[in-house]
Chains A and B, each alone.
Chain A
Amino acid sequence: MAIDYKGPVEYSIEIAIERICALLNASYFISKRSVALLILQDDKETEEMVVANEGEAVDKIREVVKETKSHFANAITYELALERQAEVKSIVDKAVKIKKESIGTRERLSRLTMNPLTGIPILLFVLYWGLYKFVGQFGAGTVVNFIEGTLFEKYFNPFIANLIIKIVPWEVLQGLFVGEYGIITLGLRYAVALILPIVTFFFIVFSVIEDTGYLPRLAMLIDRTFKKIGLSGRAVIPMVLGFGCATMATMVTRTLPTKRERIIATMLLSLAVPCSAQMGVILALLGGNPKAMLIWAGIVGLIFLFVGYLTSKILPGERPSFYMEVPPLRMPSVSNVITKTFARVKWYFIEILPLFLLASIFIWLGMLLHIFDFIVGLLKTPVELIGLPPEASTAFLFGFFRRDYGAAGLYDLNKHGLLNGTQLVVSCVALTLFLPCIAQFLMNIKERGWKTGLGISVFILFFSFTAAYIVNFILTKFGVIL
């Protein structure tokens, strides 16, 4: 349907459209009228397209646009929107009758989720039951124990190890596939037995939350806080995903509107958002010590806000603005949730699996060439500086290959009674902040480019140790016994 755009007669938009159409010679995949309308509205892509195709006529077209603009006080986009709205209104008025509705239960519940007084308790309830209980305890605990502990360790790994040893004669190559850090025994096992179930459970919760329409409400609750760290409420989606898997969340930062927001979000995801696997181990380490847990959460939370605030001050670019439709709350349908979860898990798995296998190869190479011993030696000094036993440096190095793996290394140290309360807090803080796992490191580079991806990683390397050093210093200085 074409609307007749009015305006002062001889300079009307309609006439400008006609004049531009007459000047357009090339053929486009949309009508000339549409091209003319887009040019009048300063659409960048269309302008580039016209500049590339029209040659000399471009100047004349620009002349028409300039002249047309001079006859309107407002932007042409605005004028067009007004005309369209008037047209829509005249149609709707004729065709639609709107009944008055009173505020029902649904609307009341919706307002409860948006009012900070009730909305924050609701958020905590959702986080506790959805993330902690369902994903953390049931998914990452019960289900992973069964798949990894029983299915893989008891049946699959021994079977495949035997098979490979029979087929591949060289011991070094055997190690590549089924050694301690083998592609199959580590890479595949992690991907299939650990990450896949955790992420599946996480996506189930996420799809349910998404389908109820809760996310935009969460976004509006948190927008004011996120503005302080250079993000808008929209960034709540990658941030929530980050609690599932920061690597996947980094991919989702694509949905943020500006480059500046994407960099800040990537930075924070790499630094201060613990993923579900890592969270599981940290909860296990600090679970018996509520005071230590509180200090850890407080420090990581503060660092999240502090680094976000600093980054937003340093990075140039316009302030983000927030607008989002708030759809009515709905009951999610089971089939939708299943379909979505399946599609996401599949997509995620295809993206992530090669990275896991690659990580295994790196570790295998590192072990083979004794590079790891060298790096572990390098890490000893900073590890001792932050008040931890030298054995912890192995945990940090492996932490890079899998963040949760590093945390698991700490878990072993703790089991052997090598860490006291303060050291536990310090090491958990350091490990949460420490370099993202290699999968995320590769994702940072893939999404943000070499310079930014590497820059973020180097910053985090220094920052995590500095922060841990300060935390250790303060806790020891004030004799806090945990």
Chain B
Amino acid sequence: MLRDREEEILEALWGEIVEKKNHMCDISVLKDDEAIKQLTDLDYVEVKNNQVRLTNKGREEAKNCVRRHRLAERLFVDVLDIKDKLVHEASCKFEHLLHKGLDENVCILLGHPKTCPHGRPIPEGECCKDAKRIPKKLIMRLSELELDRKATISYLETQDQSILQKIIAIGALPNTGIRLIQKFPSYVFQIGKSQFAIDKELASSIYVRV
């Protein structure tokens, strides 16, 4: 596990080497720093004549550190509404908590942002790649579902007892597979071997998961 200082060095290297497209970076200031030594031992960086280079392994780790930092910034600015000065400081502390898995959750929560509040790119994670393949919303009303996409009913939402009874009568209950066949002029869907036609009001009371 890297310590905070080592992560920050990796982030700085990512900025200097990857984003500014330099092959190497001069670290004469940090020559005898403990952290550099640690990174070298872990095979993240190679140091030659005060010039440092990221290894493939180090490049991956640096990318994740940057990603966590910038996601943290987005979280503070967009969700927690923390003002300018505090953003960097808070993010620096918070990013170290965002380890494997947690960063993905934050990324999903924020809707896979592409840049940090300062406009620098946030490196893509696995979840962002997945998000490009599957639609953004996982749970939606039946009326919003794409045609012919397989989905599962997650829950019913209506205060109207008579609407609820109609949906129950159709058998459109949670955990049932459902496929929308047509949207206009009415909603037609298939459950098992049966097809049903319903109006928009009923279709909006059924929530599905793709």
Chain A interface (Cβ within 8 Å of chain B)? 42, 75, 77-78, 81-82, 85, 89, 98, 110-111, 114-116, 216-217, 219-225, 227, 232-233, 318-319, 321-328
Considering only CB atoms, which chain A residue lies closest to B197 in the complex?
Answer: A220
Of B99-107, B132-140, B168-176, the segment with at least 4 beta carbons within 8 Å of chain A is B168-176
CB distance from B172 to the nearest CB of A (A): 9
Interface majority SS (helix, strand, loop, mixed), chain A: helix
Beyond the given A223-B186, A233-B199, A326-B196, please list 4 additional residue pairs across the A-B interface where CB-CB is below 8 A.
A114-B181, A116-B184, A220-B186, A323-B202
Distance between Cα atoms of A116 and B193 in the complex (Å): 23
Q: Sort A-B residue pairs by CB-CB distance and give the 4 closest, nearest first.
A: A220-B197, A322-B199, A326-B195, A220-B186
Interface residues of B in 155-177 (CB under 8 A from A): 156, 161-171, 173-176
CB distance from A82 to the nearest CB of B (A): 6
> What residues of chain A lie closer than 8 Å to B182, measured between beta carbons?
111, 114-115
Distance between Cα atoms of A221 and B174 in the complex (Å): 27
> What residues of chain A lie closer than 8 Å to B188, measured between beta carbons?
114, 220, 326
The answer to whether the Cβ of B185 comes within 8 Å of any Cβ in the partner chain is yes
Chain B interface (Cβ within 8 Å of chain A)? 156, 161-171, 173-176, 181-182, 184-186, 188, 192-199, 201-202
Query: 5 A-B pairs, CB-CB below 8 angstroms?
Result: A82-B174, A116-B185, A220-B185, A223-B199, A324-B196
With most chain B CB atoms within 10 A of its CB, the pick from A42, A81, A89, A232 is A81
A233-B197, A324-B197 as given contacts; A81 in contact with B173, CB under 8 Å: yes
> What residues of chain B lie closer than 8 Å to A220, measured between beta carbons?
185-186, 188, 197
Are the CB atoms of A325 and B194 closer together than 8 Å?
yes
A82-B174, A85-B171, A323-B196 as given contacts; A233 in contact with B186, CB under 8 Å: yes
Distance between Cα atoms of A98 and B193 in the complex (Å): 9
Distance between Cα atoms of A98 and B191 in the complex (Å): 13
> What residues of chain B lie closer than 8 Å to A224, measured between beta carbons?
185-186, 199
With most chain A CB atoms within 10 A of its CB, the pick from B163, B175, B197 is B197
Distance between Cα atoms of A431 and B176 in the complex (Å): 53
Are the CB atoms of A111 and B184 closer together than 8 Å?
no
Considering only CB atoms, which chain A residue lies closest to B168 in the complex?
Answer: A81
A-B pair number, CB within 8 angstroms: 91
Distance between Cα atoms of A328 and B175 in the complex (Å): 24
Are the CB atoms of B186 and A322 closer together than 8 Å?
yes
A85-B176, A111-B182, A114-B182 as given contacts; A77 in contact with B202, CB under 8 Å: no
Distance between Cα atoms of A216 and B170 in the complex (Å): 15
Are the CB atoms of A321 and B163 closer together than 8 Å?
yes
Are the CB atoms of A227 and B199 closer together than 8 Å?
yes
Distance between Cα atoms of A370 and B21 in the complex (Å): 108
> What residues of chain A lie closer than 8 Å to B176, measured between beta carbons?
85
CB distance from B114 to the nearest CB of A (A): 39
CB distance from A455 to the nearest CB of B (A): 27
A114-B182, A220-B185 as given contacts; A323 in contact with B161, CB under 8 Å: no
> What residues of chain A lie closer than 8 Å to B197, measured between beta carbons?
114, 216-217, 219-220, 223, 233, 322-326
A223-B185, A223-B186 as given contacts; A77 in contact with B196, CB under 8 Å: no
Distance between Cα atoms of A85 and B168 in the complex (Å): 10
Are the CB atoms of B202 and A321 closer together than 8 Å?
yes
CB distance from A13 to the nearest CB of B (A): 16
> What residues of chain A lie closer than 8 Å to B165, measured between beta carbons?
77
> What residues of chain A lie closer than 8 Å to B199, measured between beta carbons?
223-224, 227, 232-233, 321-323
CB distance from B159 to the nearest CB of A (A): 10
Are the CB atoms of A322 and B202 closer together than 8 Å?
yes
CB distance from B8 to the nearest CB of A (A): 47
Are the CB atoms of A221 and B156 closer together than 8 Å?
no
With most chain B CB atoms within 10 A of its CB, the pick from A75, A224, A232, A323 is A323
> What residues of chain B lie closer than 8 Å to A223, measured between beta carbons?
185-186, 197, 199
Considering only CB atoms, which chain B residue lies closest to A42 in the complex?
Answer: B161
Are the CB atoms of A221 and B202 closer together than 8 Å?
no
CB distance from B204 to the nearest CB of A (A): 11
CB distance from A44 to the nearest CB of B (A): 11
CB distance from B150 to the nearest CB of A (A): 12
> What residues of chain B lie closer than 8 Å to A219, measured between beta carbons?
197
Considering only CB atoms, which chain A residue lies closest to B156 in the complex?
Answer: A78
CB distance from B13 to the nearest CB of A (A): 52
CB distance from B170 to the nearest CB of A (A): 6
CB distance from A216 to the nearest CB of B (A): 6
With most chain B CB atoms within 10 A of its CB, the pick from A98, A221, A326 is A326
> What residues of chain A lie closer than 8 Å to B161, measured between beta carbons?
42, 75, 77
Are the CB atoms of B164 and A75 closer together than 8 Å?
yes
Distance between Cα atoms of A17 and B181 in the complex (Å): 41
CB distance from A154 to the nearest CB of B (A): 51
> What residues of chain B lie closer than 8 Å to A115, measured between beta carbons?
182
> What residues of chain A lie closer than 8 Å to B175, measured between beta carbons?
85, 89
> What residues of chain A lie closer than 8 Å to B156, measured between beta carbons?
78
Distance between Cα atoms of A410 and B188 in the complex (Å): 46
> What residues of chain B lie closer than 8 Å to A78, measured between beta carbons?
156, 164, 168
Are the CB atoms of B198 and A322 closer together than 8 Å?
yes
> What residues of chain A lie closer than 8 Å to B170, measured between beta carbons?
323, 325
Q: Choose from A89, A110, A221, A321 the contact partner of B166 (Cβ within 8 Å).
A: A321
CB distance from B109 to the nearest CB of A (A): 25
Are the CB atoms of B186 and A111 closer together than 8 Å?
no
Are the CB atoms of A325 and B196 closer together than 8 Å?
yes
Distance between Cα atoms of A318 and B176 in the complex (Å): 29
> What residues of chain B lie closer than 8 Å to A227, measured between beta carbons?
199
> What residues of chain B lie closer than 8 Å to A89, measured between beta carbons?
175
CB distance from B73 to the nearest CB of A (A): 38
> What residues of chain B lie closer than 8 Å to A111, measured between beta carbons?
181-182
CB distance from B77 to the nearest CB of A (A): 36
CB distance from B184 to the nearest CB of A (A): 7
Distance between Cα atoms of A322 and B175 in the complex (Å): 23
> What residues of chain A lie closer than 8 Å to B184, measured between beta carbons?
116
> What residues of chain A lie closer than 8 Å to B194, measured between beta carbons?
325
> What residues of chain A lie closer than 8 Å to B163, measured between beta carbons?
321
